[in-house]
């Protein structure tokens, strides 16, 4: 059976001493979300974050300023939005039919669809705050080695977050193989290493849906023996670690599930993860298709929509971003041509 969320309680896997105040956690099973018909509208185009102009940055800053100004308990506040990630990623939701099993959207096939829906509503809420339903989140194309995009680095901007690795903010390129223990290569060596990782994770290492999306995960399953898909494993996780503040106990904000959504950069990191799903389906190979298993397609999550209505969404409705009203700006993809 599919995994469906019900009864939200306190998160089970919060690290001890996690700095968390109020937890916004809707305890209902709301009615299904009706995806608007976007077929007659212009698609929202998510831009590459390093290419955006001042007009765009102005809009995003305004939207984030308004979001940060909302009272914490408002479901649209940044704190509440970040708590959604905490709830699904630190096991706060029970599974329908299995009250002793808590839901987890990482390390299994729910990873891509959960984060897609999460960003979908986050984007719609920002658009609502500035009364612009064409607003689209910028994506951080770390797959091309891009560093933290400039718009997130200005200390006076609402897009800034104090809890980051200050040293890494100054680097000209991200390290997709980052680990605390080893020094990062530099220059051409780093570019080569990044391209090699992307090529492995997207091309040679994810020829089947299982390799790309991760292990199946059904009602009543626990995570033992499950596993993440190629991109979730690397570089998704390394980028979280690379971005978070090493001086915080748990690498907050980006370095830990419960706090990651507090950094606006999170949503651009995940926009690029989401973009990888679209790109993966365009690569050559017969098996690069969405999963057909009804347990995946019927798994569901709960969100507040842009009108603060609680809704249930399912995986089947999110496999096509055009149906969800958005697409990604095309930019060069250096790892496509990589020769091992
Ligand atoms: Cu829910 Cu990047 O993690």
- CB of 85 closer than 6 A to ligand 1? yes
DSSP character at residue 138: -
**Ligand 1 atom nearest to 236, measured from its CA:** 2
Helix (H, G, I), strand (E, B) or coil at 257: helix
Strands (E), the chain: 5-8, 44-46, 93-95, 98-102, 300-304, 310-314, 326-328
Q: What is the pLDDT of residues 286-301, one digit of tens each?
A: 999 999 999 999 999 9
Give the dihedral sign, CA 200/281/328/306.
Answer: negative
First to last CA, the chain: 41
Confidence of residue 24 (pLDDT cuts 50, 70, 90): low
Q: What is the pLDDT of residues 155-206, one digit of tens each?
A: 999 999 999 999 999 999 999 999 988 899 999 999 999 999 999 999 999 9
Beta-bridge partner residues of 102: 94
Distance 86 CA to ligand 1 centre (A): 10
Joined tokens for residue 128: 């609502």
Q: Using an 8 Å Cβ cutoff, are 12 and 74 in contact? A: no
Residue written as tokens 């055009």? 322
Confidence of residue 86 (pLDDT cuts 50, 70, 90): confident
- CB of 275 closer than 6 A to ligand 1? no
Is 212 catalytic? The answer is: no
CA dist., res. 322 & res. 315, Å (int): 15
Is 50 catalytic? The answer is: no
Joined tokens for residue 81: 């939005």
What is the residue-averaged pLDDT of the chain? 93
C-alpha distances (whole Å) from 120 to each of 152, 249, 267, 331 are 20, 31, 10, 21
Catalytic pick from 76, 111, 115, 152? 115
CA dist., res. 50 & res. 285, Å (int): 31
Helix (H, G, I), strand (E, B) or coil at 48: strand
Closest Cα to residue 160, out of 81, 72, 65?
65
Helix (H, G, I), strand (E, B) or coil at 163: coil
Radius of gyration of the chain (CA): 19
**Confidence at residue 27, expressed as pLDDT on a 0 to 100 scale:** 60
Is 168 catalytic? The answer is: no
Q: What is the ipTM of this complex?
A: 0.99
| More confident position, 126 or 90 | 126
- CB of 89 closer than 6 A to ligand 1? yes
Q: What is the pLDDT of residues 30-73, one digit of tens each?
A: 889 999 999 999 999 999 999 999 999 999 999 999 999 999 88
Q: Indicate the helix (H) or strand (E) that contains 59.
A: helix 54-69
Residue 26 has pLDDT above 70, yes or no: no
**Confidence at residue 19, expressed as pLDDT on a 0 to 100 scale:** 72
Catalytic pick from 257, 266, 301, 303? 257
**Confidence at residue 306, expressed as pLDDT on a 0 to 100 scale:** 97
- CB of 116 closer than 6 A to ligand 1? no
pLDDT > 70 fraction of the chain, expressed in percent and rounded: 97
Catalytic pick from 106, 168, 199, 269? 106
| More confident position, 95 or 60 | 60
**Confidence at residue 23, expressed as pLDDT on a 0 to 100 scale:** 57
Closest Cα to residue 257, out of 124, 134, 83?
83
Sheet bearing 93-95, strands edge to edge: 5-8, 93-95, 98-102
Is 303 catalytic? The answer is: no
Q: Residue 189, class by beta-carbon neighbours within 10 Å (0-12 exposed, 13-18 middle, 19+ buried)? A: exposed
Is 257 catalytic? The answer is: yes
Distance 257 CA to ligand 1 centre (A): 6
Beta-bridge partner residues of 152: none
Distance 87 CA to ligand 1 centre (A): 12
């Amino acid at each position: 059976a599919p995994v469906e969320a019900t009864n939200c309680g306190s998160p089970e896997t919060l690290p001890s001493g996690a700095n968390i105040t109020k937890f916004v956690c809707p305890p209902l099973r709301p009615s299904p979300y009706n995806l608007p018909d976007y077929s007659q509208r212009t698609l929202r185009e998510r831009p590459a974050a390093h290419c955006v102009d001042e007009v765009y940055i102005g809009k995003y800053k305004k939207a984030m300023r308004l979001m940060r100004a909302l009272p914490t308990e408002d479901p649209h506040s940044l704190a509440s939005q970040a708590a959604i990630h905490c709830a699904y990623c630190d096991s706060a939701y029970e599974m329908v039919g299995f009250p002793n099993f808590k839901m987890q959207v990482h390390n299994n096939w729910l990873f891509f669809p959960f984060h897609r829906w999460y960003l979908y509503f986050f984007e719609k809420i920002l658009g609502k705050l500035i009364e612009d339903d064409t607003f689209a989140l910028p994506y951080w194309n770390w797959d091309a080695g891009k560093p933290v995009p400039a718009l997130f680095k200005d200390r006076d901007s609402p897009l800034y977050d104090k809890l980051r690795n200050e040293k890494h903010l100054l680097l000209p390129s991200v390290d997709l193989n980052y680990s605390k223990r080893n020094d990062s290569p530099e220059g051409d060596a780093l570019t080569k290493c990044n391209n090699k990782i992307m090529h492995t994770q997207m091309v040679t290492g994810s020829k089947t849906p299982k390799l790309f999306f991760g292990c199946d995960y059904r009602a009543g399953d626990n995570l033992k023996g499950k596993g993440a898909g190629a991109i979730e494993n690397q570089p998704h996780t390394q980028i979280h670690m690379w971005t978070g503040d090493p001086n915080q106990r748990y690498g907050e904000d980006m370095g830990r599930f419960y706090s990651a959504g507090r950094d606006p950069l999170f949503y651009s990191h995940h926009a690029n993860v989401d973009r990888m799903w679209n790109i993966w389906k365009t690569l050559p190979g017969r098996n690069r298709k969405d999963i057909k298993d009804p347990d995946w397609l019927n798994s569901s999550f709960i969100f507040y929509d842009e009108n603060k209505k609680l809704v249930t969404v399912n995986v089947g409705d999110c496999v096509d971003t055009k149906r969800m009203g958005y697409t990604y700006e095309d930019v060069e993809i250096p790892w496509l041509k990589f020769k091992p």
